[in-house]
Amino acid sequence: MTVDLYRVISYMVVRRTNEIGIRMALGANRAGILSMILEEAGWLLGSGVGVGIVLSLAGARAAKSLLYGLTPYDPLTLFAATTLIVMIAISANFSPAQEASKLNPNVALREE
């Protein structure tokens, strides 16, 4: 999961290298670029977590017999799993965002 998320965000950064170069040439700072990439990744993460929670709650009834020692709607387990996934996703998103913030605007604009 982490590798796939890293690849998606890296691909998004590569596709937008020219745009990022223009933003930096016009005065955007590294923190602004970093927050822009992380914000877009956050939208993907939020929608994925939302859909995942809904599907896990729907699938919990079907997997009720496989859950030993847990209730199908155990809030602690759901919270722990969601927190772990979010932490892994943030770490996977941070590296491509940091690479985007370190782009040289001259190199980025010449790449087309």
Best CA proximity match to 101, nearest among 30, 32, 17: 30
Mean pLDDT of 52-79: 80
Tens of pLDDT, residues 5-62: 888 888 888 888 888 888 888 888 889 988 999 898 889 889 989 998 899 888 887 7
Which stretches within 1-112 are classed as H helix?
2-15, 17-25, 30-60, 75-101, 105-110
CB atoms within 10 A of CB 108: 20
How far from each other are the two terminal CA atoms of the chain, in whole angstroms?
31
pTM of the model: 0.75
Spatial contact of 103 and 17, defined as CB atoms under 8 Å apart: yes
